[in-house]
Amino acid sequence: MICAGVMSLAWEARLRTSAYSGVVRYALLNAVIIAGYTVVDGIGVRLSGASSGYLMWNLVLTAVILSIWTLLTRGGELFLMPRGVCALRLSVACDHASYGIVLWAMTQAPIAVVARLRETSMIFVLAMA
């Protein structure tokens, strides 16, 4: 359903204007990636038995991989502290908390229902932005 929604928006925009066809491909690719990681997260959190453990391992492994990549590609920039880092940390903390809530919800309800609600919330984010 999410893919169909993205595709209908892309085709509607293409009919109104001469939209670039690459936009449709990127929108569909994005929808496939979202569907893929949603299913992987849903199955993974259910198999792990603990949403908090799954979240922590996910965050730790991501931090390790990104830190290594940053050290290899940007050298010492990993340790620089830019201005506004407190606001960034708050934003990251809120992002991790919301991701944890979604993971927990996937252990309590069908994955499709949680995914639908999660993606619908993006409409509200867009409206606020």
Instruction: For 77-113, write each residue's pLDDT tens digit.
Output: 767 766 666 667 777 888 889 899 999 999 999 998 8
pTM of the predicted model as reported, rounded to 2 decimal places: 0.69
User: What is the per-residue pLDDT for 16?
Assistant: 63
Q: Name the token pair of 33.
A: 């990636």
Instruction: Give me 57's structure tokens.
Output: 């391992």
SS3 content of the chain, % helix, strand, coil (to 5): 90, 0, 10
Helix axes 85-108, 21-48, angle to 10 degrees: 70
Q: What is the 3-state secondary structure (H, E, C) of 32-50?
A: HHHHHHHHHHHHHHHHHCC
**For residue 44, which amino acid is it?**
G
17 pLDDT higher than 70: no
**Confidence (pLDDT) at 32:** 87
